[in-house]
Structure 1
């Protein structure tokens, strides 16, 4: 029984073992079957993928532009900006340099680029399988992302056809295009395209442009060290640029030289070259120049027909004066504030322009764009209007408390000096006198004078406008003072002298704008007298430079803005200082920091110019001179005159019906005061025999009760009858 049981157990074990063995053979067979299927399917898929890849590459190759089309592709315009002496001050936009054929490119440049960017360039089909496998392995064993694996051909495909997005789709398309390029072009053609199109930083595309930018010579003359510097830039143009960081550029070039030596492309002795001894092109430009180019270059859209070829723009900017202007603003602007400066030659040429203390920190141009209050420098227009209306620098005025329509300006020191003359009132920027003058000549007349002299911003005619409450641009104010310097003739600021192609063909030539006389000579001389006194003995004493200077300070309430504008030896310069947030600046006054910056700059600007004395000798017109009463009467055909009814008669119209010209009033002016009367037809101009009209008196009726055509003051001036002139009025901050 036991033996039979033992045999049964043994047979069962054998049966189970046999079944297990059979199951194992079946499982092994299944594994082998699935493995074979996987190999077949995988191989088939790989073959199918290769077929599709080949088709994609073939189609891509067929759709690629020709080699000559790729050579001709230039995507943007290069602008070289030159100073008035012809020196290059800045180059803007991409620069492509001269196209170099493969046999013109130095072999050391090819070797340097291949060594650092694609050591197996001559052996791969556009994509480097070894490099790709290695990158995938590194990524799979711990790197966070797949490392860069782009060959020179892939970089060319990306630069010419794609963007720089780091996506799988872009990488796949890049690989297809790279193989298509390899299919269609030779290795030498691909390398030539790459070296003439790759970006090296600073706007330089291609090795010739990079060589000229960094070393001042064409790429055909590149040395081993220079080639290593250029080849090292491709990885990070901004980081390794020799103009930005010489040490970083030298260190990167040393890496390139080591790779060239390790790969046998140069000898060990050549690899020992001293990269730090390479002579770099001097970067003479300052960042403040960009304020000028930002203002001037947009004008090319109006001056030139549409063109995409490289151009050279010859400007009015003086490099030495620009450096002096930058230094003067930097040295004198109070901490936490901004400063701006504009300097014009006598013909309107901009010699220097600084729009802020640092262009890199902020490129907002405060010289041409910022709207700020000019303070008492605006009194230029008040006194111009007064001089044109008949005042002279010697005329007596009264500094006393004034109220105009509820507005009561005061002087900055809170005191009034009583009777003085116009010259002193201007020199010490007495606000109450400016207010009285504005009220007397009419606030609209002051606004009109500002418009006449080039103020382009909106101007209100409220009484406070005489103290500079209107916001203006520094460039406009400087232009107005330049017109005074020019004897009352208009001045048009400009910055571009001519534009040429890179080959020297003339595209544009500046023509001087036709000048017009804005005020009579005696008015220009009178205001120059006042401006000169303001610098000699008044609020602008800090602007003295050891030769005649005429100018005016300006300070707004709470010292938010400081102004000084003046001229000497044919150069007119305006300076503004303040904060962009319009906050108060401690100690900022037009007669201090702005005037000091003006002086620091002008000492350099006029050093090579002859000293020029100002012409301030007044030659008043006949109508402003004391004459006999019958001077104003004579042949009515010779000049305007007043008939017995008080009507203004035009020359030659005394016998015509309706020859009389009544003076309509302007209605209520600012502050409830009647503005000065204005004729509706041609009226006497300064220099003719009828004096300027005075504000209308309250009664406005003649002896017969009929309305007067003109006011009593005007009639008094015509017939020579003396009447007391209205006493002047007050103001705010003296410059």
Structure 2
């Protein structure tokens, strides 16, 4: 009895001491313990997502990929797998599991090492939110106390839901929802038992147990999870056996991008960071909806890339990327300075030297192709067989394909931008076995390709609001992040002329005014050099009506107009279109396009003509929502017609005219008259459709005649080419869209050059020959874009503004006429500016002559 009494007393003392120790430890660390109240309003780090106007994902920004799920949205097998592996008594303990602690203590006594941490799910949650992973006793003490507090504040289901969404599971995946997307590219409820078990095994070592970095270790861990689920009765023996031997199916899946618009995504990222700060932009789960329609963006991307490939194919093939076998090492290293071809990486060079001239194995070819970077629509391939007029290739993943002759025959030798070699006659004239080449999608197969030499940009916006409809800043964002649509200021060439003419129209000129299209020579006594602006082509027609002069882009006429209006007055007038005044040259070269603007600035300026004279502000973010779907930012654009916009909004949303609206409709400023905008549009429609009578040999084409293929007489546009053909442009519009296309080399030293006819292709497959220009280089890209979007934008005719009239004029003289034959036409005038005199009965055009100003009024 005495022994029993002492034993009981000892136990009581020990328990008291233990309790006192726990109380002492609690007060010792109490001040360092965080408040678990924050868990009730916890905001998990969720990346920013960028969407198109029609709700398709464009991009995702953030260090952590997370897809928050409620407990009801998480499939039961995933919950069972986590509980079985991490904390089978989760619903029984109060944050700290005494049985688990005793088990860990026994292991420590037996082995002398800390092999089990006795951490419950609640303790892991405490560590993940508030503590580090440092393996020290004091951290475990704090972890236990915080876990007890958490159990007092939150329900078991709330704790488990937070835990499953907080877990770090490797490859920047946080939470089981994100892990399902990263490793399997599917939603969590779509996973198999084996895949669920794989994810459930990751919390103990996400970097070393994940199925991408270490498939073997992942399989072993998966089997442990499955065994625990079997032991706990969550799965049957048959389910266990099927999942036990399942193959590893995981591979890395990036964000499920539905629309490729990296240049737009970067614009959104910068704007959002500027507005909300870096941390909120990357972690607050913002959803940014842009103004861009997905189909328009895809059309712009396709048009830009296809147009650049067309240019490159006209100018010849620069050769394969590398010759992997069948090469002379000494010759190879002597040619190392050849910058046209990139040097091979170390692994490739090692394989090349090991094989010498011998063919690589298929496995080596596949490994080589698989590690090549991707960009644009181009795919890497290796030539493994050359026939008379076809070649066999191996692409990424081991896919084999044959390039037939019609996919190769364009590839005559590139000499320089001005010259091309002879058309090839057989495949061996182009490629050899062992060549590392690039191919691009073409019809139902592939076509030989190369990275285009020049660059390009396309931007389209809605002329009534300024909402950007599509924007592409270059061939591939992975090749260059420089956004040429918004950052590249390039000389605009003849696309400046509509603004010069608009200034003239507001200074007493009309579409029927005659200006002398004759050579100009201006002697500069200071420099001792004569300035001789010339037409392109170098053809002069004498007195010419301004409608035809603008449509045919007559340079000397533009010079005469700026002289009459005045350089300073013209420059001030151009500033109305949103161009920065300090970027507008104040000399006569302005009339020929010496000013440099970005494609977006040019599109905004042309929108003034398209919308009746109003200057709208381009914008690309429609609204931003927080992670709960609340709108925290809404664009508030200025409308070209605020009254029209409000009326359309009321009609669309069935809102009574007397009901006040929360949304405001602001009027964009009127910077030119509606009548002037209409006259410019008329002339620019002629730039596409021309005029005169072809039957009577008086017909003429405008510089944008290729756009006739769109078969729409309500579109207008203007080409632009700099004197040295370093920049080419086309800006076109209708009532529902305005877009600008630029093509040129990033390096200002390079000109776009000229091309000769490729005998293999003939005039049907390659109609563009001669010098590159706005109408041959930029316009085809604009046409490719419009072909895909024209059915989705307003192309209705422009209504005649008030204060205007049309009268029949004599085409050669621009004067009134009573004739109704091919020599006459109806022309538009602002009322009061129409001609008052009738043409002579013979209707002859005044003779060509050179004079001081060349103006006929």
Q: TM-score, normalised by structure 1?
A: 0.62
Q: Tell me: CA distance 1:116–1:596, structure 2 relative to 1, closer, same or farther (3 Å).
A: farther
Farther off after superposition, 398-407 or 99-108: 99-108
Asked whether 1:294 is paired with 2:418, we answer: no
1:654-673 mapped onto 2 (5 Å cutoff): none
Separation in structure 1 between the aligned mates of residue 106 and residue 585 of structure 2, nearest angstrom: 75
Separation in structure 2 between the aligned mates of residue 240 and residue 559 of structure 1, nearest angstrom: 55
Separation in structure 2 between the aligned mates of residue 364 and residue 390 of structure 1, nearest angstrom: 43
1:490-569 mapped onto 2 (5 Å cutoff): 490-513=615-638, 514-536=667-689, 537-544=701-708, 545-548=710-713, 549-568=715-734
1:145-544 mapped onto 2 (5 Å cutoff): 177=139, 180-181=142-143, 184-185=146-147, 195-200=164-169, 204-211=173-180, 223-228=192-197, 230=199, 256-261=221-226, 267-273=240-246, 276=249, 283-288=256-261, 290-296=262-268, 298-300=270-272, 309-333=284-308, 334=312, 335-347=452-464, 348-399=466-517, 400-403=519-522, 407-456=531-580, 458-513=583-638, 514-536=667-689, 537-544=701-708
Asked whether 1:89 is paired with 2:58, we answer: yes
Q: Tell me: CA distance 1:130–1:553, structure 2 relative to 1, closer, same or farther (3 Å).
A: farther
Asked whether 1:727 is paired with 2:853, we answer: yes
Separation in structure 2 between the aligned mates of residue 200 and residue 337 of structure 1, nearest angstrom: 43
Deviation (angstroms), 1:474: 1.1
Alpha carbons 1:95, 1:203 under 8 Å: kept:
yes
Deviation (angstroms), 1:452: 0.9
Q: Which structure has the larger Rg over C-alpha atoms?
A: 1
Q: Tell me: CA distance 1:325–1:687, structure 2 relative to 1, closer, same or farther (3 Å).
A: closer
SS of structure 1 residue aligned to 2:733 = strand
Q: Tell me: CA distance 1:192–1:176, structure 2 relative to 1, closer, same or farther (3 Å).
A: farther
Deviations 1:474-499 (A, max 9, x none): 11110111221112233222223333
Alpha carbons 1:106, 1:220 under 8 Å: kept:
no
CA-based RMSD: 5.1
Q: Which of 773, 776, 779 is equivalent to 1:589?
A: 773
Higher strand share: 2
SS of structure 1 residue aligned to 2:597 = coil
Separation in structure 2 between the aligned mates of residue 238 and residue 519 of structure 1, nearest angstrom: 67
Deviation (angstroms), 1:501: 3.4
Q: For structure 2, list consecutive stretches of 5 or more residues without a partner in the other structure.
A: 1-23, 88-95, 114-118, 313-451, 525-529, 639-666, 690-700, 754-771, 810-828, 835-849
Deviation (angstroms), 1:532: 1.4
Deviations 1:598-650 (A, max 9, x none): 1011111112456523557996599xx9xxxxxxxxxxxxxxxxxxxxxxxxx
Deviation (angstroms), 1:274: 6.6
Q: For structure 1, list consecutive stretches of 5 or more residues without a partner in the other structure.
A: 1-54, 137-149, 163-169, 242-246, 626-685, 692-723, 730-735
Alpha carbons 2:46, 2:67 under 8 Å: kept:
no
Deviation (angstroms), 1:324: 0.8
Separation in structure 2 between the aligned mates of residue 417 and residue 201 of structure 1, nearest angstrom: 72
Separation in structure 2 between the aligned mates of residue 331 and residue 445 of structure 1, nearest angstrom: 41
Deviations 1:93-120 (A, max 9, x none): 3565446579978464574699799xxx
Query: Which residue matches 1:653?
Result: none
Deviations 1:659-708 (A, max 9, x none): xxxxxxxxxxxxxxxxxxxxxxxxxxx979899xxxxxxxxxxxxxxxxx
Deviation (angstroms), 1:436: 1.6
SS of structure 2 residue aligned to 1:227 = helix
Q: TM-score, normalised by structure 2?
A: 0.54
Q: Tell me: CA distance 1:508–1:67, structure 2 relative to 1, closer, same or farther (3 Å).
A: closer
Deviation (angstroms), 1:461: 0.8
Alpha carbons 1:349, 1:494 under 8 Å: kept:
yes
SS of structure 1 residue aligned to 2:636 = coil
Deviation (angstroms), 1:382: 0.9
Deviations 1:552-607 (A, max 9, x none): 11122432222111013521111112232323243442212321111011111112
Deviations 1:384-415 (A, max 9, x none): 11122121222211222232755432233344
Separation in structure 2 between the aligned mates of residue 591 and residue 454 of structure 1, nearest angstrom: 25
Q: Tell me: CA distance 1:502–1:345, structure 2 relative to 1, closer, same or farther (3 Å).
A: same
Pairs aligned (count): 555
Farther off after superposition, 413-422 or 303-312: 303-312
Separation in structure 2 between the aligned mates of residue 553 and residue 110 of structure 1, nearest angstrom: 66
Q: Tell me: CA distance 1:689–1:200, structure 2 relative to 1, closer, same or farther (3 Å).
A: farther
Separation in structure 1 between the aligned mates of residue 28 and residue 479 of structure 2, nearest angstrom: 50
SS of structure 1 residue aligned to 2:596 = coil
Q: Tell me: CA distance 1:155–1:582, structure 2 relative to 1, closer, same or farther (3 Å).
A: farther
SS of structure 1 residue aligned to 2:603 = helix
Separation in structure 2 between the aligned mates of residue 591 and residue 174 of structure 1, nearest angstrom: 73
Deviations 1:324-362 (A, max 9, x none): 111111111241222211111232221111112112332
Asked whether 1:613 is paired with 2:797, we answer: yes
Separation in structure 1 between the aligned mates of residue 618 and residue 626 of structure 2, nearest angstrom: 24
Q: Tell me: CA distance 1:498–1:331, structure 2 relative to 1, closer, same or farther (3 Å).
A: same
Asked whether 1:576 is paired with 2:726, we answer: no
SS of structure 2 residue aligned to 1:341 = strand
